[in-house]
Amino acid sequence: MARRVIAMLLVTVAVIMAGLLYFAYVVRTGLVRELSLWADQRRQEGWTVEARLAPPASTLFAPGIELRGAELDGAGDLLPGGFRLAADRVELRADLMQPKILHVTIGGNVTVRLGSLPAVTFVDDHLTGTVTLGNHGKIEAIAIDGKNLRSADLGGMSVGTLQALLTLDASGAAADVRTEALVVPVNPYGLGQHLSDVTLNAALVGWPPGAGSRGARADVWRASGGRIDISRLVVGWGPLGLVGEARLGLDQALQPDGTAKLQVRGYQAVLDGLGDNGALVAAVIAATTPGDEADFDIRIKKSAVNVDRIRVVKIPRIDW
């Protein structure tokens, strides 16, 4: 009797192990197949997609694939200057208990370029994420968790912790980002090099159409009510505290247009850092807003940023 029980247990374990091995094989081959199809689709759209498949370093319960020298470069038809993301190593792992969750680990040097801005390369102690898939493999959400991100390109700027959540649906996208323990290479006006936290809650309302020139797509997006809503922006930098909100879009000339409100607390430290120049600014602010707090209405129109109806800075025009 005991032998029969042991034999049945051994058979059960063998069946389970065989099932896990088969599951791992199916997942790995499926990931490779779907990734190849996705890469071919992006290449047909003019993107550059490069990666080398490395030997798998995953487990039976979390099978996956590892990519080396991954690069994604494109979107020039939608964003002036395009978008580029490159990483030394990217690991994709499935979850046996949550088949619609894809775990992502990024390691080594990571390079990001957005539009015509300079590319930034950083290294990390910990940068992971999860991708939630919906029907037909569509991405519904992307969550990112990073620790100790450092970049020599930004003068040694570092981020202690980064948490971000991007959700997508047919009506647009929403992003919630929070960073803590930022260290910046500059120390303007005595604020120090340490930012305690930066929080951003924003939403993209409407998607640009998939066909047409870049300008035509932007115009359709604008005419259909497309915009970017920033419901909350919070910055803590030494004695300075900023809380803001904004609604941004495009005017008929497809140039930035929008409004914003900004609450500033502890600005006296900035004015003190300006010296004699700050004394004049302080006098102007004190005449309208006593104390160490101020609220500002910001208007963006005609390639300029106006604060309380005073033009303070010109912004470059977008060449679609």
Domain end position, chosen among 127, 159, 191: 159
Residue range 250-275, pLDDT digits in tens:
999 999 999 999 998 887 766 666 55
pLDDT, averaged across the chain: 81
84, 110 Cβ separation under 8 angstroms: no
187, 193 Cβ separation under 8 angstroms: yes
pLDDT at 277 over 70: no
One domain, residues 81 and 227:
no
Residue 164 in any domain: the answer is no
One domain, residues 251 and 142:
no
Domain end position, chosen among 126, 159, 192: 159
Distance between CA atoms of 202 and 173, rounded to whole angstroms? 9
One domain, residues 318 and 297:
yes
The pair of three-digit structure tokens given for residue 290, joined into one six-digit string: 């006593």
146, 161 Cβ separation under 8 angstroms: yes
208, 217 Cβ separation under 8 angstroms: yes
Residue range 292-309, pLDDT digits in tens:
688 889 999 988 888 877
Which of helix, strand or coil describes residue 282? Answer: helix
Model-level pTM greater than 0.85?
no
How many angstroms separate the Cα of 208 from the Cα of each of 13, 27, 63, 226? Answer: 53, 33, 36, 8
One domain, residues 180 and 278:
yes
One domain, residues 222 and 114:
no
What is the span of the domain harbouring residue 229?
A: 170-320
pLDDT range class, residue 158, cuts 50, 70, 90: very high
pLDDT at 175 over 80: yes
One domain, residues 103 and 239:
no
